[in-house]
Structure 1
Amino acid sequence: MDLAASVTRQLARVVSPTGGGGSKQLYFLAFVAVFTLMISFSSPVFVQSGPYLAGLVLLALTTVAAFTVPWERLPTWCGAVIPVLDIVSVGLFRDVLRTEASAVSLLTIIPAIWLVARLRIPGAVIATLCVTVAIAGPALVRSAPDINSTDIARALLLPFTVLQVGLLAAGALKVLDGQARRMTATLREKEELLEATATWERLLENILDSVPVGIVVVDRDGHDVLMNRAQKAFHAHCSPSDIQNPEESQLLLRYPGTTTVIPPEQRPVRRAVLQETFSNYVISAGPPGQVGTKFSTSARQILDRHGNRDGAVVVFSDVSSYVDAVRAQQQFVAAVSHELRTPLTSVIGYLELAMDEEELPKGAAMHLAVANRNAEQLLTLVQDLLHDQVTRSTVDGLELRPHRVSLIAQEVLESAAPQAEKRGISLSGEIDESPVMLVDAKRLTQAISNLLSNALKYTPRGGRIQVHCRLVDGAVEVSVIDSGIGMSDQEQTNLFTEYYRTETARSSPIPGHGIGLALTRALVLAHGGQISVRSTPGTGSTFTIRLSVDRVSTS
């Protein structure tokens, strides 16, 4: 293997256009040695002649010079000395052999090509002149007494051949030079691109490592290709102590607030690998028996320039402090609500007593009725301030009684009128009477009130809000239409998720925890209904509750 590599390196030096003078000379010397050996067997008298021996001595001295003189440090044209001396040596051999071995003249082709390789067209001219002087000239001198045109043509054939070969070689090398320059430029561009890519890669790594959220990127086959510092810390936090490098199915992940382990196919990264896109998927991570760290996870699919899926990115955000703060706030409000329940009950009782008075003015009776409805609604809200309590009472404890949804919508509209007037917002309604249906009036009032309250919060002064109640295709539809800030398609996708608030809401002083719409959706679903939203940024939003008339009361 070493011998083959050594031979390969020597051949590379021989064919090199500029370097490898010593290797080229050894290559030429080997040809001459073989040729001399062949001549010495058949005609030793030629080898022993003075000119032939002089040629061998000149060739030996030239070989020594090729290895000892630092040609690389000298000007380029100095490299022509070695092949010129080689041509002179061939001329001495040719002068001895003459017609007996005229083929020896072809040995001049090798140094001629080396001249062309080093000097291009000037090298071809120098090689032609050297061959003419060293070989063609002596041949013509010897034929001088009886010289003719045939002798001249025969003598000049070799210089002419050397010139043609030299010009062809120079042309081919020129083409190769152009290709080499283009290749060098291409390689330089690639190196610059690679350097720029490496720079951007380092920059991206620094940016990703500086953000406080965990980021993991997987390829189309589900293999991790990138994980930032925060994600590595999260991975270590939820890794079992007895497993050094666990897979995602082995991580300690649970549903929030429970000891139930999340199945492998429901874990965030696995869902992303299965081509799901989601937002605000909350999980709990950590060893069993501990409270665990809460993470809000989101996933997006990565598409290549052809629109084909090329992987996914999953983001893990630590929301433990936010969840704990919300829970603490809810616990505090729940404690306060216990203290508020008794006085509210007393207020409602006295309002009912006042409404029972027979001689009340008509206007006062209407005002007392509105105050009584709002007091009852306030009592309901106080009792259900904690979201989990609200959810349980919503799903399991609906008190279904005959009622008209249109009447509920009208009452909510009247209750919100003072607030709308105070905020300088035009509030109107188109309420068509709906059939009597089995509904929980308090809960449905709460749902519609949440929608109208949101519309008032996100509609600027001078805006418009409309409440419609209509019978459409066998269902009662209640719509709250505003001219507020609106939402993007992505925001609408996550709108009914617990604790989700839009970017505009988070960056504004508008209060909220992202619970109201999730609760409203739960209330509507508990009634067997549907809730939908249509919105355009900067134009406004339309929320619609749809309840089937299959719930019509027959009593």
Structure 2
Amino acid sequence: MQTFVSRWADSQLIGTRTRSVWQWQLIFTFSTVAIAVVIAILDELLLTHGAFLAGIILIVAASTASLVTPWARYPKWAALVLPLLDIIGVGLLAIAESNLGYLWVFPIAWIATYYGTRELIIGLVITGVMNLIDSWPRGYSSAVVLELLIVVLALAFLGITIIVGARRTRAFRHLTRRQADRLDRTLHRVQAAEQRVNAVFDSISVALARVSSGGEIVAANTAYRALYSLDPRDLRFSIGGAVE
């Protein structure tokens, strides 16, 4: 009988990276769509705005791509495309409704958590460009420029804070893993040394036994057990005579 193995059971397809991509993208998509739908219900004209619809379609398309793409087969930077597309999608939503610009927090946090400063700068640049596109009909007055700087600097501060925290977490995890490996090696060495001592102790032809402070035999070699016909599975009993 032929056995069929699901491709989704392959650990190379569903790994830590793939689960992380799904988690971030789906949480962002559900949050964005839910908020956008609520705002659209309050203002039905948004449903006819081209930028609003384009932003929703782009975010949903990115989420669909995240589910069907085997991320474990691609380098880590390949998944960076998703938060960058999300930034563009939020920018399109912000063109229709400026309050939706707060959703930039999600993709920026995603980039800062799993990538570095360079990728964060790329995300901030795209965010700034989308802000410039949004502000173009109003003109680039001092108030608009100040608003743009506040948005970019706030997101940059958030991203840098997350990057520092993520680096500390990774360093702590690495240190913990090294300490666990060191303890494991030490335990193996102790067990190996104990086995060697027990082997030497058991190979001596003279009857020997180890006795606790309470007068109980805790270990005895083969010669001792044979001499007194002791059961090796239970050696803890009070001694009744001399111990050789």
Shift in alpha-carbon separation, 1:42–1:191, aligned structure 2, 3 A: same
1:165 to 158, 170, 195: 158
Which whole-Å deviations, capped at 9, do the CAs of 1:119-170 have from their partners, x for residues lacking one? 2211221221121122x112331222xx321111112221111111111222
Report how far residue 218 of structure 1 moved. 5.1
**How many residues are aligned here?**
229
Distance 1:223 1:157 in 2: 77
1:140 to 113, 120, 135: 135
Name the residue aligned to 1:248. 237
Name the residue aligned to 1:495. none
2:196 to 203, 208, 227: 203
- The answer as to whether partners of 1:216 and 1:228 remain within 8 angstroms in 2 is yes
Report percent identity of matched pairs. 19
Report how far residue 232 of structure 1 moved. 4.0
Q: Where in structure 2 are the equivalents of 1:18-417 lying within 5 Å?
A: 20-98=20-98, 102=99, 104-134=100-130, 136-144=131-139, 147-217=140-210, 225-234=218-227, 237=229, 248=237, 267-268=240-241, 281=242, 297=243, 316=244
Distance 1:218 1:141 in 2: 89
Distance 2:83 2:222 in 1: 65
Report how far residue 45 of structure 1 moved. 2.6
Amino acid corresponding to residue 194 of structure 1 in structure 2 = L
> Normalising by the residue count of structure 1, what TM-score does the alignment of the two structures yield?
0.38
SS of aligned partner of 1:248: coil
Report how far residue 226 of structure 1 moved. 3.9
- The answer as to whether partners of 2:40 and 2:47 remain within 8 angstroms in 1 is yes
- The answer as to whether partners of 1:36 and 1:47 remain within 8 angstroms in 2 is no
Shift in alpha-carbon separation, 1:131–1:81, aligned structure 2, 3 A: same
Which whole-Å deviations, capped at 9, do the CAs of 1:201-224 have from their partners, x for residues lacking one? 222222222122344445566666
Distance 1:225 1:59 in 2: 69
Which whole-Å deviations, capped at 9, do the CAs of 1:46-75 have from their partners, x for residues lacking one? 134332222222112211221222222322
Name the residue aligned to 1:503. none
SS of aligned partner of 2:97: helix
Distance 2:45 2:128 in 1: 26
Shift in alpha-carbon separation, 1:233–1:151, aligned structure 2, 3 A: same
Amino acid corresponding to residue 86 of structure 2 in structure 1 = D
Distance 1:79 1:124 in 2: 14
Which whole-Å deviations, capped at 9, do the CAs of 1:216-239 have from their partners, x for residues lacking one? 44556666654444444445x167
Amino acid corresponding to residue 201 of structure 1 in structure 2 = E
Shift in alpha-carbon separation, 1:246–1:163, aligned structure 2, 3 A: closer
Distance 2:104 2:168 in 1: 24
Amino acid corresponding to residue 127 of structure 2 in structure 1 = V
Shift in alpha-carbon separation, 1:188–1:245, aligned structure 2, 3 A: closer
- The answer as to whether partners of 2:83 and 2:111 remain within 8 angstroms in 1 is yes
Distance 1:224 1:149 in 2: 89
Report how far residue 190 of structure 1 moved. 1.3
- The answer as to whether partners of 1:19 and 1:72 remain within 8 angstroms in 2 is no
Aligned residues: CA RMSD: 2.9
Structure with a larger share of its residues in helix: 2
Shift in alpha-carbon separation, 1:204–1:159, aligned structure 2, 3 A: same
Distance 1:50 1:153 in 2: 27
Which whole-Å deviations, capped at 9, do the CAs of 1:408-447 have from their partners, x for residues lacking one? xxxxxxxxxxxxxxxxxxxxxxxxxxxxxxxxxxxxxxxx
Name the residue aligned to 1:366. none
